Amino acid sequence: MSELAISCRDLRKYYPDVKAVDGIDLEVGRGECFGLLGPNGAGKTTTIEILEGLNTPDGGDVRILGLTWRDDERELRERIGVSLQETQLGEKLSVVETLRLFRSFYRNGPHPDDLLKSLSLDEKRNARVGKLSGGQRQRLAVACALVGEPDILFLDEPTTGLDPQSRLQLWDVVEHYRRRGGTVLLTTHYMEEAERLCDRIAIVDHGQRIALGTPQELIAMLDAPHVIEFQSTPALSEADFASIPGFHGATRRSERWLLRVDSLALSVPQLLSAVEARGAKLDILSTHAATLEDLFVSLTGRELRDV
């Protein structure tokens, strides 16, 4: 039996106007939670749908649980659970009716009532899907993915548009599933979601994998652990930063500068004198420890949440 839950090599999917997936390699071990992190349009959904067997690649090799979609589709369908980015389940059906319907598609799986309890949806058992809140709907969607007791759970942007509390509840559901040994592949454009849930993350942009590692490894890829964000009038130029000790690089975001530095204690005073030396006025100054977001910015010059 293959140790890998998911593997794909040189995955490609070209549409007439865009290379949605342009040579992505992934390997996800059993029991691992793997995240595809990237902005909208990076190719995350196309990638995950190819892995789910809902889209056919133009090139590359995909193996799920050591099987292929071409030869073992029925078997794979029994063993994976999928939550698509936007599925509107029938609004006129109740929660338990929806779950019973999905349960009927699978050979094995938990009783719908037990599943509802473990997802704290049992109070809404007989409520119509149309009356549920966004968070409850999303949990029901994940329940429908879990109802066949899958070996792999695919979640495409599971918490997009949810309020913080619903997001926490959903994260609990994913962590609970992982504790029972499940493998998770999720896409997200929330770095905090990726950091909290994922063992390893692939950062994706323009259909390509631009970074891969554990959250810690990825942050360590940044040459500097701190980020200074500032804005001044008139704006400074990159040459003005050369004198700052421990300076590793700067990225300009419209009027703001993001400076990656080794030490705030050394860099901030020097930056302030540079601003003063230019006779500029400081408008904004803030600092934070480097995150995946900063890695993405340093790799691409763009922010994750940019469309």
Partner 1 sequence: MSERPTRSALWELTSVRLKEFLREPDAVFWVFCFPLLLTVALGFAFREKPPERIPIGIASNAAPQWTESLKKSPALLTRTYSVQEGREQLRRGKISLFVEGEATPVYRFDPTRPDARTARVEVDDALQGGAGRRDVLAAKEEHVQEQGSRYIDFLVPGLIGMNLMGTGMWSIGFAVVNARLRKLLKRMLATPMRKSDYLLAQFFSRLVFLVVEVSVVVTFAWVVFDVAVRGSFLTFALVCFLGGCAFAGLGLLIASRAKTLEAISGLMNVVMMPMWICSGVFFSYERFPDAVLPFIRALPLTALNDALRAVMNDGAGIAAVAPQLVNLAIWTVVTYAVGLKIFRWQ
Whichever of 76 and 259 has its CB closer to partner 1, that residue is 76
Closest distance of CB 11 from partner 1, Å: 18
Q: Is 201 helix (H, G, I), strand (E, B) or coil?
A: strand
119-178 binders of partner 1 (CB under 8 A): 144, 148
Q: Contact region for partner 1 (CB under 8 A) — 22-30, 84-92, 181-189, 282-290?
A: 84-92
67: which residues sit within 8 A by CB, 6+ positions away?
A: 75, 76
Query: Which 8-state DSSP code applies to residue 91?
Result: T
Q: At 264, list the tokens.
A: 């705030």
Whichever of 74 and 179 has its CB closer to partner 1, that residue is 74
Interface mask (CB under 8 A) for partner 1, residues 49-68, using x and -?
---xxx--------------
The answer to whether 112 contacts partner 1 (rule: CB under 8 A) is: yes
Inter-CA distances, 181 with 116, 157, 260, Å: 20, 21, 38
Closest distance of CB 218 from partner 1, Å: 30
Whichever of 54 and 168 has its CB closer to partner 1, that residue is 54
94: which residues sit within 8 A by CB, 6+ positions away?
A: 125, 126, 127, 128, 129
Inter-CA distances, 79 with 60, 88, 164, 234, Å: 22, 23, 31, 59
The answer to whether 87 contacts partner 1 (rule: CB under 8 A) is: yes
Closest distance of CB 198 from partner 1, Å: 22
The answer to whether 97 contacts partner 1 (rule: CB under 8 A) is: yes
The answer to whether 286 contacts partner 1 (rule: CB under 8 A) is: no
Whichever of 4 and 101 has its CB closer to partner 1, that residue is 101
Closest distance of CB 88 from partner 1, Å: 4
Q: Contact region for partner 1 (CB under 8 A) — 17-25, 63-71, 96-104, 183-191?
A: 96-104
Closest distance of CB 140 from partner 1, Å: 12
Whichever of 53 and 135 has its CB closer to partner 1, that residue is 53
Question: Distance between CA atoms of 17 and 11, rounded to whole angstroms?
Answer: 18
Closest distance of CB 208 from partner 1, Å: 25
Q: Where are the beta strands (DSSP E) in the chain?
A: 4-15, 18-29, 33-37, 59-64, 80-83, 152-156, 183-188, 200-205, 208-213, 226-233, 247-253, 256-261, 281-289
Q: Contact region for partner 1 (CB under 8 A) — 1-9, 93-101, 248-256, 268-276?
A: 93-101
Task: State which of residues 70, 92, 179, 180 lies at the interface with partner 1 (CB under 8 A).
Answer: 92
Query: How many residues bind to partner 1 according to rule CB under 8 A?
Result: 33
Q: At 225, list the tokens.
A: 């652990």
Task: State which of residues 90, 134, 245, 269 lies at the interface with partner 1 (CB under 8 A).
Answer: 90
Of 303, 76, 106, residue with least CA distance to 205: 303
Q: Is 34 helix (H, G, I), strand (E, B) or coil?
A: strand
Question: Distance between CA atoms of 257 and 224, rounded to whole angstroms?
Answer: 15
Q: At 72, list the tokens.
A: 């073992």
For partner 1, the binding residues (CB under 8 A) are 52-54, 74, 77-78, 80, 82, 84, 86-90, 92-93, 97, 100-113, 144, 148
